[in-house]
Chain A
Amino acid sequence: EVQLLESGGGLVQPGGSLRLSCATSGFTFASFTMSWVRQAPGKGLEWVSSITSGGGTYYADSVKGRFTISRDNSKNTQYLQLDSLRAEDTAVYYCAKRAVPGKFYFEYWGQGTLVTVSS
């Protein structure tokens, strides 16, 4: 059974930093592209970032230069480093596993971790 478990969310002041983790099990983590998707309060889903099995990284324009995605295949875990946080980054952040290479959809999701940016 595929499982994705996010952690690391919390309350942080504007300009602060936070690191989110997504621990996975039930599949060969190293072989799949992983992503982060967020949902601000009362809003829809927004893709944030993706990292390929080869370590290639992609970011939404809204977070480029402030967020950094990474992965540790030995721990079956991906990370999202959030720096220079703004109030508009307040959201539930979901970890998502993409389908096999060449397929463009999110096959599994975690339950999310809440990030609140406020003074």
Chain B
Amino acid sequence: QSALTQPASVSGSPGQSITISCTGTSSDVGTYNLVSWYQHHPGKAPKLLIYEDSKRPSGVSDRFSGSKSGNAASLTISGVQAEDEADYYCCSHAGSWVFGGGTKLTVL
């Protein structure tokens, strides 16, 4: 399986909304509802933000939301804050695990 496609970087000012895309194929993202998203601050443990395309674990801010259409998933962060500056990864499972290349969010 090839890595899922994410933009290398996105940026936004505090309070703005940003969206990170994650493109796969009908064999991974487009199959079932198994896309998850992770936030990773360098040097720390990655953190689950979204699972099963759009579900949010308890304790995760409702500023984070996920969606999917066809072979493309998206993570939206509403009201970006300085603490959101991190790397974000999408992941899909279709027999095996495949991650996106990661997107670095810069808060201006």
Contact = CB atoms under 8 A, between A and B. Distances in A.
* B partners with A: yes
Interface of A: 4, 35, 37, 43-47, 50, 58, 60, 94, 96, 99, 103-112
Interface of B: 3, 34, 36, 38, 40, 43-48, 51-52, 57, 89, 91, 93, 96-102
Given A44-B99, A44-B101, A104 B45 contact: no
Nearest to B103: A44
A103 B36 CA distance: 11
Given A50-B97, A111-B43, 18 more contacts: A35-B97, A44-B99, A45-B40, A45-B89, A45-B102, A47-B98, A47-B99, A94-B46, A99-B51, A103-B51, A104-B36, A104-B93, A105-B34, A105-B52, A106-B46, A108-B45, A108-B48, A112-B45
Given A104-B93, A105-B51, A105-B52, A110 B98 contact: no
Nearest to A104: B93
B102 A44 contact: yes
Nearest to B101: A44
A58 B96 contact: yes
B96 A106 contact: no
Contacts of A50: 97
Nearest to A96: B46
B89 A109 contact: no
